[in-house]
Amino acid sequence: MKVEIRRRILVGSVIAVVGLGLVYGFMPKPVPVDVVTAKRGPLRVTVEEEGRTRVKDRFVVSAPVAGYLKRIDLHAGDVVRKGQQVAMLEPLRSTVLDPRSRAEAGSAIAAAEAALDAAKENARAASADADYARERETRMKKLAAGGYIAQDELDQAIAGSKKAEANRLSAEAAVIVARADLERAQSALRFSAAEQSATGEKAVMVRAPVGGRVLKLHRESEGVVNAGEPLLDVGDPRSLEVKIEVLSADAVKLRKGTPVLFERWGGDKPLSGNVRVVEPAGFTKISSLGVEEQRVLVIADLTSPREGWQGLGDGYRLDANFIIWEGAAVLQVPASALFRAGDGWAVFTVEQKKARQRNVEVGQRNGMVAEIRSGLTEGQVVITHPDDAVHEGGRVRAR
């Protein structure tokens, strides 16, 4: 009898343990979640973009005429005064004559020399005719005064003398022309680059339009430059501004005077500034991912003391944070805690180890944190990154 009772007790115990195990196994387990506490603190909404510094008044010194640039002795960073000579342009070098061109130039010289000799002979003949015509005019005047010849013959002698004098002057002018033609033909050989002869021409001095420093050298070594070709940039690096390319959707939020914080520029503390100009025209730019973006150029001034950023120069990189909105004591939660609930927003709070859905009104957001205007109180525990396993009334446990 006792054995039978013991057997029943043992079987019942085993069945009870198995049943409890089955019940425990099928019971829903708490979902592990990440939680944070809703708290009040400062909140700032910003637009972040990369910017570049640049000198406000930048002067590009270019070549006024085409010429042969002598080597520029200045270097980037050198101080220049207004009116100081910064470059020198000499006349362009002549080309080197090939054998055929040299032979043609020699033949042209020979022809010009012959033409000059012919012009000189014609000038001598014309001079002799002019001398004879003057003497004949003198004789005719004496005869006309004595009444030995008619007035018509005297007039013919006077006209012949004037004609001979004109022929003489014309012949002398032809000599000048022939001599110029000879010099022109000789210049092809005299000023050839292979002759290595100095031209003796004056050089063009290029001077700095303002005082400042050399920001950049476009050309340093000597060589041929065209008219208008940039040679160097001059400006005052102590007068800097920052240019930032902002997405057009963000540019509409900016106004003149919008505060800016400049970070990651190399210093220990952020620099402050203000927006001076939001340009009215945008432009298309291809992003690094190959996407077309409409961007707007925004110009900002540095308002921090000069001593704090004197290490900055032209074209330096920095990050610009435009402050769109900020509050001092704002109830906030991470943006990852929010999810859509109909047309609004909601969060899951942890109450007595269970998830409770709370509809909230969201205010300002900066991508990381969101302002909660209603629906939560300070100190409530909120679940971040809620997934499909989290639901109303479900058991949860903090990781």
Beta carbons of 119 and 174 less than 8 angstroms apart: yes
Q: What would the mean pLDDT of 334-340 be, rounded to a whole number?
A: 92
pLDDT band at 330 (very low <50, low <70, confident <90, very high): very high
Verdict on whether the full-model pTM lies above 0.75: no
Residue 5 pLDDT > 80? no
- Strand, helix or coil for residue 103: helix
d(C-alpha 115, C-alpha 107), whole Å: 12
User: What distance in Å separates the CA atoms of residue 87 and residue 69, rounded to the nearest whole number?
Assistant: 7
Taking each helix axis as running N to C, give the angle between helix 99-146 and helix 151-190, from 0 to 180 degrees, rounded to the nearest 10.
160
d(CA 188, CA 181): 11
- Which pLDDT band holds residue 1 (cuts at 50, 70, 90)? low
Q: Give the pLDDT confidence of 248-303 residue by residue, as tens digits.
A: 999 999 999 999 999 999 888 999 999 999 999 999 999 888 899 999 999 999 99
Sheet holding 79-80, edge to edge: 58-62, 230-235, 212-217, 79-80
pLDDT of residue 198: 47
Per-residue confidence (pLDDT) for residue 150, from 0 to 100: 81
pLDDT score recorded for residue 300: 96
Instruction: Check pLDDT > 60 for residue 196.
Output: no
- Is the backbone of residue 40 left (phi > 0), alpha (psi -120 to 50) or beta? beta
Binned at pLDDT 50, 70 and 90, residue 40 comes out as very high
* Residue 354 pLDDT exceeds 60: yes
The topology under which CATH files domain 58-91+201-235 is OB fold (Dihydrolipoamide Acetyltransferase, E2P) (2.40.50)
Average pLDDT over residues 183-209: 72
Nearest CA to 82 out of 59, 64, 65 is that of 59
Tell me the fold of 31-44+328-398.
Answer: 2.40.420
**Residue 81 predicted with pLDDT over 70:** yes
One-letter amino acid at 244 equals: I
> Considering only CA atoms, which of 385, 396, 393, 370 is closest in space to residue 45?
370
In terms of DSSP bridges, do strands 230-235 and 58-62 run parallel, antiparallel, or are they unpaired? Answer: antiparallel
Q: Which tens digit of pLDDT belongs to each residue from 129-171? A: 888 888 888 888 888 787 778 888 878 878 888 888 888 888 8
Predicted confidence (pLDDT) at residue 197 exceeds the cutoff of 60: no
Residue 300, φ and ψ in degrees, nearest 5: -125, 150
CATH topology of domain 47-55+237-326: Elongation Factor Tu (Ef-tu); domain 3 (2.40.30)
Window from 130-134, 198-202, 366-370, 392-396 with minimum mean pLDDT: 198-202
165-194: per-residue pLDDT in tens? 888 888 888 889 888 888 888 777 776 665
pLDDT of residue 19 exceeding 80, the answer is no
